[in-house]
């Protein structure tokens, strides 16, 4: 189980949104590079970064902040938000991003996702953000008629490296992860699934380490880390113990 700390970028700052609303943003750090280094020093092995402005604009907006993050850390970084073309993907991979996350384009142009998977094997993840069970796009501003499972199944044999599944109704409000829906998705496809949205405390980490969640690749934590509800040392220690017991 990998615990991915999240850096969500809005206007060059590290923020957390409430229910995906750009008008309900709390700024936690105005130095994204320093925040990335802090997470690395706390023992996290990956970093999850989202360009929130880019998700609405359909192109990179917080590029300078992302580059500052890349310069400040050694850990692998997965990046989403506004990545809509093969050129966008290639440019970020060339700059050092380990894995790009495709969200809106996965709904609008699934063939592009499949082409990207062939061209950049192991480097493409799909972000599935669901509201009321249906996939939301354009920075969560629009809801499609697709369910999360419907969308995931389109990429079953495409070579997608992971699906990041976010329950928008829980994102940023510390309600706890939606484990039943996440497991339903994970059991419906062979693609590894990462849980996102609502991770609130060490209890969520403990739940993720239970046997039925072994199918998941990991989970993303944002607000709980920033406001101190989740202690990084305690979380990472639990994960290390679980890995040791499983080996």
- Tell me whether residue 8 is one of the annotated catalytic residues: yes
Closest CA to 72 of 124, 125, 32: 32
Q: CA-to-CA distance for 90 and 107, rounded, in angstroms?
A: 20
* E-strand stretches of 105-188: 124-131, 134-137, 142-147, 162-167
Closest CA to 174 of 212, 129, 227: 227
The residue count for the chain: 247
13-18 and 2-10 as β-strands: parallel, antiparallel, unpaired? antiparallel
- Tell me whether residue 109 is one of the annotated catalytic residues: no
Catalytic residue among 30, 31, 51, 129: 129
Residues labelled as active-site residues: 8, 129
């Amino acid at each position: 189980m990998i615990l991915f700390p999240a850096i969500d970028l809005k206007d060059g700052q590290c923020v957390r949104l409430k229910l995906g609303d750009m008008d309900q943003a709390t700024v936690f750090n105005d130095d994204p590079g320093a925040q990335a280094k802090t997470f690395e020093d706390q023992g996290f092995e990956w970093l999850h970064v989202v360009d929130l402005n880019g998700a609405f604009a359909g192109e990179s907006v917080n590029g300078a902040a992302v580059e500052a993050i890349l310069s400040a850390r050694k850990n692998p970084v997965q990046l989403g938000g506004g990545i809509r073309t093969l050129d966008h993907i290639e440019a970020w991979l060339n700059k050092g991003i380990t894995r790009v996350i495709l969200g809106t384009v996965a709904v609008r142009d699934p063939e592009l996702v499949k082409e990207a998977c062939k061209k950049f094997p192991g480097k493409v993840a799909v972000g599935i953000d669901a509201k009321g069970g249906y996939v939301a796009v354009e920075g969560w501003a629009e809801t499609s008629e697709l369910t999360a499972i419907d969308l995931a199944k389109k990429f079953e044999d495409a070579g997608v490296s992971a699906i990041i599944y976010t329950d928008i109704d829980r994102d940023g409000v510390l309600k706890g992860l939606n484990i039943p829906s996440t497991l339903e998705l994970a059991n419906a496809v062979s693609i590894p699934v990462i849980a996102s949205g609502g991770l609130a405390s060490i209890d969520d980490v403990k739940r993720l380490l239970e046997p039925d969640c072994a199918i998941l690749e990991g989970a993303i934590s944002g607000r709980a880390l920033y406001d101190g509800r989740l202690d990084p040392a305690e979380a990472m220690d639990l994960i290390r113990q679980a890995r040791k017991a499983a080996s």
